[in-house]
Chains A and B, each alone.
Chain A
Amino acid sequence: MCLIQARKNSRGSLSVSLTAAIAISSIRRVNFLAIASLLLLDGSIFMHHKKFRFKFHPLSLCFLVGISLVGCRDFSEVRKLGDRADVIRDQSTRMANDFYDSCVRRSRIPEARFPGIVSTREADEEQCRDNDLEAKEAIIAVNSVLFTYLANLAKLAGDGSSVVSDENQEALASSVDNLTTTAGQAGVTLPEPFSAVVGQASPILTKIFDAVANDIRRNTIVPVMICTDEAIYNYTQGLEEIAVVVYVNQLGGEALRYDNYYRSLGAPALTEDLMPSEALSSLQLDREFNSAIDSIREKRYFAQEFANYLEETRNTHRAITLIFAENRDLTKLNQETKKQEIVPAKREVFCADYEARSREESLSIQLTPSEARRIANILKNYERTTAPMIKRMKQTDFQEQPLFLHDR
C-alpha cells in the first residue's frame, strides 16, 4: 500500500510527500534499509516553486545505492531443485495409471485355455475397479504432496528476474517522464539532484522492491527447508517404496499371470511333435509372451529410475539444508564420517522459534558468497545426475498394450 499525503501548508503552497511504505499489510517482513530510504525520501522532497517546493536529501541517494548493493543475492539457484517438480507429478501419474492398468491387463488374461476367458474377466475387472482404482488415486495423491512442496519452492525462489513486472516498471518510467514534462510546462523547476533521481525512479524503486522480495525469499526458504528436511527425507523414502516395491509387485503379479497362461498354452510343444502350422502358432505365442514380459521389464526399470530420482531430490534437499543449517550454527561435525550434520535439538529450537515468530520478524539469514557457490554446485550436480534418469523415464512406453488389450 502506498500512503499518499497531500496537504496545504500555512503559506498556501502544496507540499506533497510520498511514503512508499512497503509495510504492506500482507508483507510483514520489511527490509529495514528499504524503508529507511523511503522515509528519508519522504521527508526530503519539496518542490521549489511559488506553489510547490521540492527538496532532495542527498543521503537518500546513498541509501538507495546501498540497497542496490545488499540483498542482491537471490535464490534463483534453489529454483533448480523445485523446477523439476513436474517430473515427479508427470511420472508418478504415469506409474499410478499403469498400476491400475496392470490390474486390468491381469484380469483379462484367461484363467484357463479358451474359451474360459468370458467367465472370469468381468468379475476380475470389477475387482480392479473396486480396489485398484482407489489405489491409483492414492499413489497420485501421495506424490502430489512432494510435487506441491517443490513447485512452491521453485515459484518462491524465482528465476532471478525482478519481482516487479516489466509492465509496471515501464508504466512508472512513463509516468515519471510525464510528470517531469508536466512540471516543466507548469513552470516548476526541479533541482538538479532531484531531477536526476526522478529520472531513475523506476530502476531505483525496482531495486528496493527486489531487495524486500529477496528478504521474503530468504526468510521463508531457509527456515522452511531446515524445518521440513526431515519430513521430506522420510516421506520420499515411502514414495520410493511405493515405486520399487508396490508398483513392481503389481507388475510381478501381471507377469505371473502371463507366465501361467502362456506356459499352459505352449505345453503341447513340449510333449508332442508339432505340425508346421502348430509350430508357427507356438512361435507366435512365444513372441506375444516375450513382448508382454519385455514391457513389464521396461516398467520395472522405470520404477527404479523414479526411485533414484526421488533419492537424488531428497539428498539434494538435504545437502542445501545443511548449508543453511551451518549458516545458522545448527550443525556439528560427526567424528566418524567427518562430515557436518544437523543437531536435532538445535533444529527443534530453531523451528520452534521460527513458528513462534509467526513470520512477523526477520531471521536475518544472509548467505556468504562461498555458501551460495556451494549451493550452486550441489544443484548443478543434481541437474547433471538426474538428466539421464528423466530421459529414461520419458522413454518408457506406457501406451504399448499387450495381446489382450487390443479391444480397449
Chain B
Amino acid sequence: MTTTKELKELIDAIEKIVEDCGERRIELRKNLKISNVLWELDNPNDLMTFVKDLAGQAGADKDAIAREVKALLATSPSSPTVSWLEIKLNDYRAQLNLKLLKDITANISQYQQKIDDSSAKLDGAVKKLSNMNEAFGAIVLFVNLIEAMINVSSGNFNTLAKVLANLP
C-alpha cells in the first residue's frame, strides 16, 4: 500500500519524467536526430528503456513506472509516440493526484467530528443568546400586563385587550 508520502514522490517523479521527455524530444528534433517532433518509435522496447532511464534519474521506482508505461502502451495507437506517452503519463499523474486528495481528506476526517461537535456547541450557545432576546420580549409583555391590570382596576379593559392580542 502506498503511503501519502510515497504517492507525493511518485507524482513528482512522473512530472519530472514528462518534463524531461518533452525537453529531450525537442532537443533531438532541433538537432535533426528525429524526423518528427512527436518522436515516433518503431520499437516500444526502446521507449521502455528510455522511460526507465528517466525514472531512475527522477528518483522514482523504475519498475513501477515501467509497469504503468507497459499498461499504457497496451492501450496505445498502432505507432505510439513519445509525445503521446507524455500525455498519458500526465493523465496517470492526475489520477494519482485525485488519490492523494482522497488520502488527505481521509486523514483529516479523524479531526472533523471534533470540529463539527464544537461548531454545534457554539451554535447552541448562539441560539441561547437569541432566546434571551425573546425572554426580554416576554418581560416587556409582563410590564404591559401590569399596566393593563391597573387599568382593569379602574374599569378600563382596553389595554388588557391589547396585551392579550399581542400574546404570542
Q: Which residues of A contact B (CB under 8 A)?
A: 1-2, 4, 6, 14, 16, 18, 20, 22, 24, 26-27, 51-52, 103, 106, 111-112, 124, 127, 131-132, 135, 138-139, 142, 145-146, 148-149, 152-153, 155-156, 158, 163-165, 168-169, 171-172, 175-176, 178-179, 182-183, 185-186, 188, 201, 205-206, 209, 212-213, 216-217, 220-221, 224, 227-228, 230-232, 234-235, 237-239, 241-242, 245-246, 249-250, 252-253, 256-257, 259-260, 263-264, 267, 270-271, 359
Q: Give the chain B neighbours of A135 by CB distance below 8 A.
A: 98, 101
User: Which B-chain residue is minimally distant from A225 (CB atoms)?
Assistant: B118
Which residues of B from 46 to 85 have beta carbons under 8 Å from A? Answer: 81, 83-84
User: Which of B100, B127, B137, B159 is in CB contact (< 8 Å) with A26?
Assistant: B127
Contact (Cβ within 8 A) A112 B84 = yes
Assuming the contacts A164-B132, A172-B140, A259-B22, asked whether A231 and B150 have C-beta atoms less than 8 A apart, the reply is: no
Q: List 23 A-B contacts (CB under 8 A).
A: A20-B142, A26-B127, A27-B128, A149-B115, A149-B122, A155-B123, A163-B133, A169-B136, A171-B140, A182-B147, A220-B122, A228-B114, A228-B118, A231-B114, A232-B111, A235-B112, A235-B115, A237-B108, A238-B111, A239-B108, A250-B97, A256-B22, A260-B87
Chain B nearest Cβ from A173, distance in angstroms: 9
Contact of B104 among A103, A106, A152, A246 (CB under 8 A): A246
Chain B residues bordering chain A, tally (CB within 8 A): 70
0 or 1 for each of B139-150: is its CB under 8 Å from A? (1 = yes)? 111111111011
Q: How many A-B residue pairs have CB under 8 A?
A: 225
Residues of A within 8 A of B108 (CB): 142, 234-235, 237-239
Q: Which residues of B contact A267 (CB under 8 A)?
A: 26, 29, 37
Residues in B with CB closer than 8 Å to A168 are: 133, 136-137, 140
Interface residue ranges of B91-133 to A (CB < 8 Å) = 91, 93-95, 97-98, 100-102, 104-105, 107-108, 111-112, 114-116, 118-119, 121-129, 131-133
Q: Does B138 contact A (CB under 8 A)?
A: yes
Most buried by A among B32, B91, B129: B129
A18 and chain B: residue at smallest CB distance = B142
Query: Would you call A205 and B136 a contact (CB within 8 A)?
Result: yes
Q: Are A252 and B87 in contact (CB under 8 A)?
A: no
Chain B residues in 8 Å Cβ range of A186: 150-151, 153-154
Q: Are A246 and B26 in contact (CB under 8 A)?
A: no
Return chain A residues, CB-CB under 8 Å to B32. 271
Residue of B81, B102, B140, B142 contacting most chain A CB atoms (<10 Å): B140
